[in-house]
Amino acid sequence: MSFKSVDEQMALILRGVVDVHVEAELRKKLEKSYQTNTPLRIKAGFDPTAPDLHVGHSVVITKMRQFQLLGHHILFLIGDFTGRIGDPTGRNVTRKALTAADVAENAETYKAQVFKILDPELTEVVFNNTWISKLGADGMVNLASKYTVARMMEREDFKQRFKSGQSISVHEFLYPLVQAYDSVELKVDVELGGTDQLFNLLMGRTLMKEYGQAPQCVLTTPLLEGLDARLEDGKLVGRKMSKSYGNTIGFNDAPVDMFGKVMSISDDLMWRFYDLLSTEPTATLKARRADVARGALHPMEAKTMLGKELVTRYHNAELAEEAATSWKRVFSQRQIPEEMPELEVSLDAGPVGLVQALRDAGLVSSGGEAKRLVKQGGVSIDGVKVQDVTHRISSPGRFVIKAGKKRFLRLIAS
């Protein structure tokens, strides 16, 4: 068990959390755990749909790791039964269920990726088909009797689908019930999930009471903004991290790419990343933020620390150092300024022409000047010279465009 006090544990556990049900209960559980040197049982469930995981997905897993570092018992639940039902969360149509073969194959993919964050030696991997398949017809009917249709229809996505005339299959009502029953079977103290899972997680509290157990505490984590998020009117705004927006840091990104992406984010987004992704102590992060605020630490150095932490987690410390050294060398050679104009463009209507982008961003006064500059070799994209005046940007991403010797543009294509 951790030697950290309950107050220290609470500070780390609640960092970056959106919903807490119920904070007083969580403190009592931690106090008992601390006094008896007995770890709490922490659960998070994942249906093995095998997406390409990025750090936006890792927010919940990082919170699990924080609990793990505090000495608590982690239950990484793979929904090999629930995955075959299909989670209706956020859906306006019935989700296509996975086959047993799909689930088995995808479960291995999940394990390979999540253990880049969690310690496999300290993580108990469980599959909910183990106990759900044993319920049988009688057990499933009994489980269904624990919750009313009226309460189920309070769920926002069900409510909206019903109002709009979209069909809701009866088996979709089973999903939150089965997920909640997992907590009963595992005698969970705390369950974690994204904010979109709040209804399901709270059902776990209800069902545990029905079965005579102490209800689990529930913690939800937010959806992480993508690399292009910025501060506007004192508020961080931006689309969620998504591969379709080209604003992600992937689990399997190369070390130098991962590090470079961290270095490209705004200073304000950096602290959001620290809060949601870092496993460093809260006191350490508060001190680092204070150092930046008073000028004792440059924001770029703070980002370097964050970049090294993430690359170390997904690769190793040696590669993190190499990535930082490589990035600094390239950054210095290119003399790329930390701040530069930005231009957001949509690819919905097709690829974006380089000449037009230079004009729209005001880096040149006319299309003719842009074409001459390109032909003369005075324009580069991410350090690569471009001399084709018809060059178009067709894939989403963030690109540094240099025009001449001192004009820079960060093009954000989505």
Which three-class secondary structure state does DSSP give residue 100?
A: helix
Q: What is the C-alpha to C-alpha distance for residues 135 and 276, in angstroms, rounded to an integer? A: 38
pLDDT > 90 fraction of the chain, expressed in percent and rounded? 38
In angstroms, the CA 42 to CA 75 distance is 6
Mean pLDDT of 114-124: 92
C-alpha distances (whole Å) from 107 to each of 58, 73, 112, 372, 404 are: 16, 21, 9, 54, 50
pLDDT per residue as tens digits for the range 373-386: 888 888 888 766 78
Pairing of strands 384-385, 379-381: antiparallel
Q: At 253, phi and psi to the nearest 5?
A: -60, 145
pLDDT of residue 87 exceeding 70, the answer is no
Provide the CB-side half-sphere exposure for 49 (13 A, CA): 15
Indicate whether 70 pLDDT > 70. yes
Section 100-113 average pLDDT: 78
Q: Looking at residues 347-369, what average pLDDT do you find?
A: 85
What percent of the chain lies above the pLDDT cut of 70?
88
pLDDT at position 347:
84
Q: What is the mean pLDDT of residues 103-125?
A: 85
pLDDT digits (tens, 9 = 90+) for 25-40: 999 999 999 999 999 9
Confidence of residue 12 (pLDDT cuts 50, 70, 90): very high
The span from the CA of 298 to the CA of 304, in Å, is: 10
The stretch 209-217 carries a mean pLDDT of 95
pLDDT of 95 higher than 50: no
pLDDT higher at 97 or 241: 241
Q: pTM score > 0.95 for this model?
A: no
Confidence grade of residue 51 (pLDDT, cut at 50, 70, 90): low
The Cα 378–Cα 371 span in angstroms is 10
pLDDT-derived band at 149 (thresholds 50, 70, 90) equals: low
Encode pLDDT of 229-283 as tens digits. 887 777 888 888 887 677 889 888 889 889 989 998 888 899 999 999 998 988 9
Residue 201's φ and ψ, nearest 5 degrees, are -65, -40
Looking at residue 213, its pLDDT comes to: 96
Q: How confident is the model at residue 55 (pLDDT cuts 50, 70, 90)?
A: very high
Mean pLDDT on 161-189: 83
